[in-house]
Structure 1
Amino acid sequence: MTTVSVVGCGNMGGALVAGLAMTDDYDVTAIDLDPDALAAVADDADRTTDDIAAAREADIVVLAVKPKAVDAVLEDLDLRGDQSLVTIAAGVPRAYVADRTDATVVRIMPNLAAESGDMAAAATETGITDEVREMLDAVGEFAEIDEDHMDISTAVNGSGPAFAFYLIDAVKQAGIDGGLDPEQAETLAAQTFKGAAETVLNDERSVSELIDAVCSPNGTTIEGMEVLWDSDADQAVIEAVAAAEERSRELSTQFQDE
């Protein structure tokens, strides 16, 4: 069984704890100074503690703290050379962390769907080990990327869930406007997006080909697609991703200058 310590049990750290708890392959220690954060993950973690020294006993340590807390945590995090340190601190370069620990460091950008085993994550090609690959596989899908692409990954799969929630809510509202009650509309909208995503992942056809497959001539779907094709909806989404990417670059500047 692989032992994992998650340092920082906020939204993302907590999601990883919950996702790993769904498997029988991981023994998880949750570490945080905030008793409320530990209480929130107590049902999923094998143990909780405010003692960061516990991380030294883990095979994999996940650094799930805010960027501004990275320096302070690394000062107290005394790891061995045979451990893997997985950092998810947005904007903090892998090398910045690697210079401050003996552990092998890999930088990842996951998302909150780790909680249900549906995470999308990017991981740096440098520093990743088979043990870390197996852990990421346990909570979703991941892609190994050059770290130069981490800012766009942060925007696509890190910020992307919020953009998807926004679109789901729009489709839900259309259902409500058409007479469905809110619960019915939310179920249908959310499950439709979930099913569409699964189709994209599992079907060999391109997204454009899948759209064509749903759009029967003179049917209902193509009428709706004509509205979208005539709008700037796609450009608005592209601009939202670009804005998130730019913010990721801004966050990393303070660490790159050191």
Structure 2
Amino acid sequence: MVHVSVIGCGNMGSALIRGLSRTGNHTITACDVDEEVLDEVEPYCETTTTDLAEAAEATVVFVVVKPDLTAGIVDDLDLSAEQTLVSIAAGVSTDALEPRTDATVVRVMPNLAAATGDMAAAVAGDEITDEVAELLDDAGVFVEIDEAQMHTSTAVNGSGPAFVFYLIKAMMDAGVESGLNPDEAKVLAAQTFKGAAETVIQSEESIDQLIDDVCSPKGTTIEGMKVLRESTADEAVAEAVFAAERRSEELAGEGDDE
């Protein structure tokens, strides 16, 4: 079993803790200055603490705090070369953290679906240890990318869940407007996104081909697709991704100035 600590138990940190606890494969220590937050994650951990030194005893240490706090936390941790530091801070490069610790530094951009084991994560670093790979596998799926692509990953899979939630709500609202009750519309819209996503992952067909597979000639789907193809919906989604990517770049610049 891997001993893992999560420093910072807000939305993302608590999602990681919940996801990792599902497997029973790990010993989990949660660390935060807010004891109420620790109370919320206590059922999913072996240990909760406000003491950084105690959290620093883990084999893999996740630092899940705001970007402007990350370097200071790393400075306060006394990690050895046998340990791995995993940073989940938008805009904070491994180059910025490596001089501050003897540990192997890995940078990860996960998302909140870690809580259910459905996380999509991008990971970068000179060495992705077996322990880190095991942890990320247990929380979902991950891809290894060049660190230069982290701003894009931040926008696509880090911010992406909010964009998907927006689209689910749009479909849900349309269903309600046409007569479904909100609970029915929510289940149907959300499960449709879930099923479609799983189909994309498992199918060897292109997404364009999958769209065509649903569009029977003179049927209902093709009429809806005509509306989407004549709209600027794809451009709006792309602009949302680009805006999030630009903000990630800005955060990196702000960190460099400090």
The TM-score, its normalising length taken from structure 1, stands at: 0.98
Aligned to 1:212: 212
Within 5 Å, give how 1:38-187 maps onto structure 2.
38-187=38-187
Relative to structure 2, which stretch is displaced further, 126-135 or 216-225? 126-135
Q: Distance in 2 between matches of 1:200 and 1:71?
A: 38
Q: 1:159–1:244: 8 Å Cα contact kept in structure 2?
A: yes
Quote how far apart the aligned CAs of 1:148 are. 0.3
Structure 1, residues 77-121: CA drift from partner, whole Å, max 9, x if none?
111110011000111011111110110000010000000000000
Aligned to 2:248: 248
Cα RMSD (Å) of the superposition?
0.9
Aligned to 2:37: 37
- SS of 1:107's partner is strand
Instruction: Report the residue type matching 1:19 in the other structure.
Output: G
- SS of 2:142's partner is strand
Instruction: Report the residue type matching 1:209 in the other structure.
Output: Q
Q: 1:96–1:255: 8 Å Cα contact kept in structure 2?
A: no
Runs of 4 or more off by more than 2 Å in structure 1? 254-258
Q: 1:93–1:255: 8 Å Cα contact kept in structure 2?
A: no
Quote how far apart the aligned CAs of 1:75 are. 2.3
Quote how far apart the aligned CAs of 1:43 are. 1.2
Structure 1, residues 188-219: CA drift from partner, whole Å, max 9, x if none?
00000000000000000010000000000000
Quote how far apart the aligned CAs of 1:157 are. 0.1
Aligned to 2:226: 226
- SS of 2:44's partner is coil
Instruction: Report the residue type matching 2:248 in the other structure.
Output: S
Q: 1:55–1:79: 8 Å Cα contact kept in structure 2?
A: no
- SS of 2:6's partner is strand
Instruction: Report the residue type matching 1:106 in the other structure.
Output: V
Aligned to 2:235: 235
Q: 2:30–2:55: 8 Å Cα contact kept in structure 1?
A: no
Q: Distance in 2 between matches of 1:74 and 1:130?
A: 22
Change (3 A) 1:141 1:133: same
Q: Distance in 2 between matches of 1:188 and 1:98?
A: 46
Aligned to 2:8: 8
Structure 1, residues 123-176: CA drift from partner, whole Å, max 9, x if none?
004231111011100010111000000000000000000000000000000110
Q: 2:94–2:125: 8 Å Cα contact kept in structure 1?
A: no
Q: Distance in 2 between matches of 1:17 and 1:67?
A: 20
**1:28 maps to 2:25:** no
Q: 2:49–2:55: 8 Å Cα contact kept in structure 1?
A: no
* Gapped regions of structure 1 (runs ≥ 5): none
Q: Distance in 2 between matches of 1:68 and 1:125?
A: 20
The TM-score, its normalising length taken from structure 2, stands at: 0.98
Q: Distance in 2 between matches of 1:68 and 1:151?
A: 16
